Amino acid sequence: MNSKSAHVTAGLLITVLALTGCATSASPEAASSSPATTKMPSATPTQERVAAWETFTTDDGVFSFEHPAEWTVEATRPDTGFAENNVWDVKVMDASGTVAASLTSGNGGIGGACGGEQVVPITVIDSQDMTLPAGASANGQDGVTPRFQFTALERPGNVVASVGITNTEAQTESCMFYNLFAVPDTSLALIGFADQTMIGPFSENSPLIPAFATIDEAKAFMDTDVYKDLKRMITSLQITP
């Protein structure tokens, strides 16, 4: 193991309301933006890329994953007031110091609501099953095999996409989606390893994944080194409850 840092600090556990589905209304105009040409990171030849990768492991040995050697990891353990020691907030920064993805555990029930007019198409652009233990899904239903997923929400005017792990059945339309999953260990609660935990009607794109004008533009992003590094890192996650 070679983590850049692992500091135990006090923090707040992410807790939100139980999933309620699409119930409240909000202005669809607020979610719209004019299509714009997206400047995506250019792919470089494989031989020019940094080949060195390192492995980060939390102090308790529960979570481990690989990351590019030039990226850094900051791990904190939020003070939840409970005896469990499996609550983590791990941020991974790229070489510029930008947060590329976060690994969190101990998340409570999820929630969110939006009006029916905000239900839009959801496209799963890329998916890969992972060898992680399967527990209940984020919406409380029986979970399917945990998988890495590159998911796009086709909002009016733009496409916002995200990478992460989920074990919820794939959706074809909704107003939001979550990058969360669970394993058969209640002390871990819901786990997230993604660039963003949730994408919804008013979500901004994350720093490393731009907003796209079209689904085809989002698909082209898979050819960039940024995407390849994020996917390799997230799919390398190992959990030992």
pTM of the model: 0.74
pLDDT-derived band at 87 (thresholds 50, 70, 90) equals confident
Closest CA relative to residue 34, chosen from 211, 223, 220, 222: 211
pLDDT-derived band at 188 (thresholds 50, 70, 90) equals confident
| For the chain, domain boundaries | 51-239
Does residue 30 have a pLDDT over 60?
no
Tokens encoding 98? 């930008």
Q: What's the pLDDT score for residue 169?
A: 82
Terminal Cα distance for the chain, rounded: 18
Closest CA relative to residue 195, chosen from 154, 226, 156: 226
Contact 20, 111 (CB under 8 A): yes
Query: In whole angstroms, what is the distance from residue 2 CA to residue 226 CA?
Result: 22
CATH number 3.40.1000 is the correct assignment for the domain at 51-239: yes
Best-predicted range by mean pLDDT (25-34, 38-47, 75-84, 97-106): 97-106
Query: In whole angstroms, what is the distance from residue 215 CA to residue 206 CA?
Result: 17
